[in-house]
Amino acid sequence: MSNRVIIFDTTLRDGEQSPGASMNAAEKLRLATQLEKLGVDVIEAGFPAASDGDLDAVSRIAAKLDKAQVAALARTSKDDIDRAWQAISHAAKPRIHTFIATSDIHLEYKLKMTRDEVVQTAVEAVKYAKSFTDNVEFSSEDGSRSDRDYLCRVFEAAIEAGATTINLPDTVGYAVPEEFAEMVSYVISHTPNIHKAVFSVHCHNDLGLATANTIAAIKAGARQAEVTINGIGERAGNTSLEEVVMALHTRQNILPASTSINTEFIHPTSRLVSMITGIMVQPNKAIVGANAFAHEAGIHQDGVLKNRMTYEIMKPETIGLSANKLVLGKHSGRHALRTHLKDLGYDLSNEEVNLVFEKFKELADKKKHIVDEDLEVIVTEGILRTSDVFQLEYLHVTAGTTVLPMASVKLQIHGRSVQSAGYGNGPIDAAFNTIANLTDTGSELLRFSISALTGGTDAQGEVTVRLRENGLTALGKGADPDIITASARAYVNGLNRLEYLKTHPIKETSPV
């Protein structure tokens, strides 16, 4: 058995199923490019049957990438498989990923099918997908709650029909490591033709065990891990790519398996996902959290100063935490900026560099030094966004202990300038009220949070909002040295994401 573990990243598909994490085509393309640079073997670019927008995004990714396999998800229906192939047919390395549930509870209440009918449906779907490409993956949704012998039967039939990868998902995060490893071992040893396919696992984090279950499965013989950046995904999320990769990287003595991941791109990719989705990484998150390499206790600090390995089991540079001492400021030129952006993982065109350079100079007039997080905000704001319905042109607020807070706002709506003024309980409330009136939004503000990207009084403030309207939920994010401006940008960004969701409806799909 090979000790090479295939990394299958589903940030663009399962990760996007996080509430409010919908991405537009430009954002997906940028992230897919970064995932390929990271060294991901298979990128699940989306679910083309979900919407025309998803089909277009998957198609654009398929045309762009030439190293990573591009997978498209499809239910076991010809229509879904046709849409999947339409999206990836021009990919250098296309993969069709089809799935159907196999647990008795899903068969009885969701599918209303017998076990025999599910086997037949799976076989027909795999054979049909096989008529388009030799690279076909089959998943048994809710596999961890399925009968083991029935799983072996389904997998044997799927492999016989042409599946080259079979995937055992812990769809609802129900398994525990010892149990899951035992199930993987059982299925491998009781499926006669298992040697003809790669055995994959896809774990969810409902009990906080996704990474532990995945590592246990790899020890038991699984050779593909389905993961997402930052562990984002349906409900409590998915197995985290960075955790699995760095566990294998760090504990070679008991986990003698390798991946193709270029670990120095882990941190930049994590930041990019956070910037695009608006989902902040918790400070104590393993590997990529802000505190992952921070030491506050005196005894820890003393130990690290004497020998980093006393309290650090991996070097921060290994995951791409910048050790670059190049200082960027108002006198820096395009060459220095382009070089630094490349170090951060952004390989931009001349036109994009010029756009970022303009924004960089504007910020440099406000701040003495520009840090990596500032550049990531500029790239996200200036490059990753597509044409928005609403654009903030002007904001002026009046507030204090003796005046009623008031905001004057000018927006562009579909290219037409409109302006108004309004009052609120504070300057941010006044700005939000005015923007709401100008855009005539019926959305409800569910969450509002502020964080500083760096230390210092001139740090950029980062604001995240969550909005809900007519059953749709969207995250908005904005950053600026002025926290009120950052709040307005976040609110406008959230409204634009709601508008995107209204025009790009996404059909519900199972979280394989």
Which of residues 384, 415, 435 is at a domain's end? 384
Ranking 24-38, 289-303, 344-358, 402-416 by mean pLDDT, the lowest is: 289-303
The CATH number of the domain where 470 resides is what? 3.30.160.270
Structure tokens at 4: 């090479």
Q: What is the pLDDT of residue 451?
A: 81
pLDDT: is 76 or 331 the higher one?
76
Report helix angle 372-379 to 350-364, nearest 10: 130
Do 238 and 113 share a structural domain?
Answer: yes
Do 92 and 235 share a structural domain?
Answer: yes
* Interval 16-42 mean pLDDT: 89
- Which range of residues forms the domain containing residue 225? 6-277
Residue 352 belongs to some domain of the structure: yes
Residue 285 belongs to some domain of the structure: no
| Contact criterion met (CB below 8 Å) for 379 and 389 | no
Do 421 and 341 share a structural domain?
Answer: no
Do 394 and 375 share a structural domain?
Answer: no
The CATH number of the domain where 49 resides is what? 3.20.20.70
Residue 492 belongs to some domain of the structure: yes
Alpha helix stretches (DSSP H) within 278-426: 298-306, 334-343, 350-364, 372-379
* Interval 386-406 mean pLDDT: 90
Cα–Cα distance measured from residue 361 to residue 378, given in angstroms and rounded to the nearest whole number: 11
Q: What is the pLDDT of residue 325?
A: 43
| Contact criterion met (CB below 8 Å) for 21 and 240 | no
Residue 244 belongs to some domain of the structure: yes
With 90 as the cut, is the pLDDT of residue 374 above it?
no
Q: What is the pLDDT of residue 333?
A: 82
Which of residues 217, 252, 277 is at a domain's end? 277
Do 326 and 242 share a structural domain?
Answer: no
Residue 191 belongs to some domain of the structure: yes
* Interval 176-189 mean pLDDT: 98
Residue 462 belongs to some domain of the structure: yes
Do 360 and 448 share a structural domain?
Answer: no
With 90 as the cut, is the pLDDT of residue 380 above it?
no
* Buried/exposed 227-247: b ≥16 CB within 10 Å, e otherwise: bbbbbbbbeebbbbbbbbbbb
With 60 as the cut, is the pLDDT of residue 300 above it?
no
* Interval 402-426 mean pLDDT: 95
Do 210 and 90 share a structural domain?
Answer: yes
- Summarised one tens digit per residue, pLDDT across range 450-478 is 887 666 777 778 898 999 999 888 888 88
Ranking 56-65, 152-161, 300-309, 343-352 by mean pLDDT, the lowest is: 300-309
Radius of gyration, alpha carbons of the chain: 24
**3-class secondary structure per residue, 254-314:** CCCCECCCCHHHHHHHHHHHHHHHCCCCCCCCCCCCCCCCCCCCHHHHHHHHHCHHHCCCC
Using CB atoms within 10 A of its CB, is residue 330 exposed (0-12), middle (13-18) or buried (19+)? Answer: middle
How many other C-beta atoms lie within 10 A of the C-beta of residue 339? Answer: 12
With 80 as the cut, is the pLDDT of residue 298 above it?
no
- Summarised one tens digit per residue, pLDDT across range 78-136 is 999 999 999 999 999 999 999 999 999 999 999 999 999 999 999 999 999 999 999 99
Q: What is the pLDDT of residue 195?
A: 97
Number of independent structural domains in the chain: 3
**φ/ψ of residue 96, rounded to 5:** -100, 130
Q: What is the pLDDT of residue 114?
A: 98
* Interval 65-84 mean pLDDT: 98
With 90 as the cut, is the pLDDT of residue 9 above it?
yes
Which of residues 244, 260, 277 is at a domain's end? 277
* Interval 276-288 mean pLDDT: 89
Do 224 and 104 share a structural domain?
Answer: yes
- Name the band, by pLDDT with cuts 50, 70 and 90, for residue 299: low
Do 332 and 230 share a structural domain?
Answer: no
Instruction: Give the SS3 label for residue 352.
Output: helix
Residue 190 belongs to some domain of the structure: yes
**Percentage of residues of the chain with pLDDT beyond 90:** 66
Residue 226 carries which DSSP code?
E
Q: What is the pLDDT of residue 434?
A: 97
Cα–Cα nearest to 43, from 19, 64, 17, 21:
64
With 50 as the cut, is the pLDDT of residue 201 above it?
yes
Cα–Cα distance measured from residue 227 to residue 231, given in angstroms and rounded to the nearest whole number: 7
Give the chain's mean pLDDT.
90
With 70 as the cut, is the pLDDT of residue 15 above it?
yes
Cα–Cα distance measured from residue 63 to residue 61, given in angstroms and rounded to the nearest whole number: 5
Do 123 and 101 share a structural domain?
Answer: yes
Do 221 and 179 share a structural domain?
Answer: yes
Residue 490 belongs to some domain of the structure: yes
Do 341 and 466 share a structural domain?
Answer: no
pLDDT: is 79 or 348 the higher one?
79
